[in-house]
Amino acid sequence: MVDLAAPLLDSIVLGSLYTMMALGLTITYKVTRIPNFAHAELVTVGSYAGVVAVNGWGRGLGEALLLAFVASALIALAADELAFKPLFKRGATSLHLLVASIGVGLIIRYVIAIFANLYNILSVKSNLLADTLIGFGPGANLTTLHLWVPAATAASVISLHLLFTRTRIGKGMRAMASNFDLARASGIRTDQIRRVTWILAGGFAGIAGAFWSVYAPTDPETGWRALLWTFASSILGGFVSVAGTIAGGYIVGAAENFGTTILHGAYGVDTAYKPMIALVIIVIVFLIRPTGFAGLTWKDTIEGLRQVPRRMRESLRGIRAWAKRIGSLRG
């Protein structure tokens, strides 16, 4: 029990953080069709905002979360207004917008690095400490962070549900996700809905970043390192399902912690290979069911599992053909 207590507790925190990060990524793609790689930097902005609020201004957790939400939301909104929306109006495809998001992310990341270097906070951790509530053994302590993060994630999910089902803006977001042209022709203020979407996506990423600054040290690449797990969580939700993204976040968090613990304990596998678990999840999802958990039924699951051997054979044939072409070019 003690051996698995630590990964279980870490899975609760990381699963909640990945869920909150991935929620913003999912609603951004759902409404605007942008696979936003710059989402990583929104997490970093929120993390630094939380550090500034606590370490620099002496504020508490509530103020840190508020500042993180506002800072990341403003950056997200600015990125859309200055880069993504003009490209969209010029007819840019999702691929063009994906490439643009990488560029936007690099700009934000290096600006953060410049200011972090100027103020000597290239690596910093929040002074806000999580109090230990129950100890289960070495490195396995239930802290207030294990209560704060899932509670914030649950509040975010409930807020999203109420927004989508009880408000005109939420219904407009669902309409845009279903058919943008029809939504615009129906008189829905698509620009306004788009702004709200980016504010929410940035805000959720910022809150996750602020909690991350309490959980682990923050540096200019904090969000970038978490992006793989964030995308894995969103991919499990098919990039469009909020419920699937929630499940995906906790599955990825549990797979990461239990997988590394079991592999290290049983086979001595270095924990540095931890990112491979997220990559394996992404590959498996694409092989079995590229749409993730969105609209998943037991029949779909069984059919997807049956098709895995065929798809793996096709992948292997493709790899062999690629290797032969490379060999012929070298010859």
pLDDT in tens, 211-259: 999 999 999 999 999 999 999 999 988 888 888 899 999 999 999 988 8
pLDDT value of position 114 = 96
In contact, 143 and 153? CB cutoff 8 Å? no
Q: Is residue 43 assigned to a domain?
A: yes
Residue 300 lies in a domain: no
C-alpha–C-alpha distance, residues 59 and 70, integer Å: 15
C-alpha–C-alpha distance, residues 208 and 153, integer Å: 9
- Tokens read off for 138: 């070495």
Q: Residue 137: what are its φ and ψ, rounded to 5°?
A: 145, -175
Residue that the structure tokens 């396995």 belong to: 140
- pLDDT bracket for residue 314 (50, 70, 90): confident
Burial grade of 145 (CB within 10 A; 0-12, 13-18, 19 or more): buried
In this prediction, residue 63 has a pLDDT band, given cuts at 50, 70 and 90, of very high
What confidence tier does 102 reach under pLDDT thresholds 50, 70, 90?
Answer: very high
- Which residues 6+ apart lie within 8 Å of 307 measured at CB? 287, 288
Angle at 22 between CA 115 and CA 150, to 5 degrees: 95
**pTM across the whole model:** 0.87
Q: What was the pLDDT predicted at 287?
A: 75
pLDDT at 2: 42
The reply to whether 39 falls in a domain is yes
- Whether 285 has a pLDDT exceeding 70, the answer reads yes
Split into its structural domains, the chain has a count of 1
Please report whether residue 298 resides in a domain: no
Q: Which of 195, 197, 207, 163 is nearest to 70 (CA)?
A: 207
Q: Is residue 294 part of a domain?
A: no
Q: Is 270 part of a structural domain of the chain?
A: no
Choose the weakest-confidence range: 13-17, 164-168, 278-282: 278-282
Reported as a pLDDT band with limits 50, 70 and 90, residue 295 is low
- Gyration radius of the chain over CA positions: 21
326 φ/ψ angles, rounded to the nearest 5 degrees: -65, -40
Concatenate the DSSP letters of all residues of 113-136 into one string.
Answer: HHHHHHTT-SSB--SPPPPEEEEE
Report percent pLDDT > 70 for the chain. Answer: 93
Residue 193 in any domain: the answer is yes
Q: Which structural domain, as residue segments, surrounds residue 82? A: 2-223
pLDDT at 304: 65
The whole-chain average pLDDT of the chain stands at: 89
Per-residue model confidence (pLDDT) at position 21: 96
pLDDT value of position 1: 42
Does 197 fall in a domain?
A: yes
Taking the CA atoms of 159, 161, 165 and 171 in sequence, report the sign of the dihedral they define: positive
Burial class (CB in 10 A: 0-12, 13-18, 19+), 83: middle
How far apart are alpha carbons 204 and 51 in whole angstroms? 17
| Whether pLDDT at 37 is above 50 | yes
Three-class secondary structure of residue 132 per DSSP: strand
The per-residue DSSP string of 12-57 comes to HHHHHHHHHHHHHHHHHHHHH----TTHHHHHHHHHHHHHIIIIIT
Q: Residue 297 pLDDT more than 70?
A: no
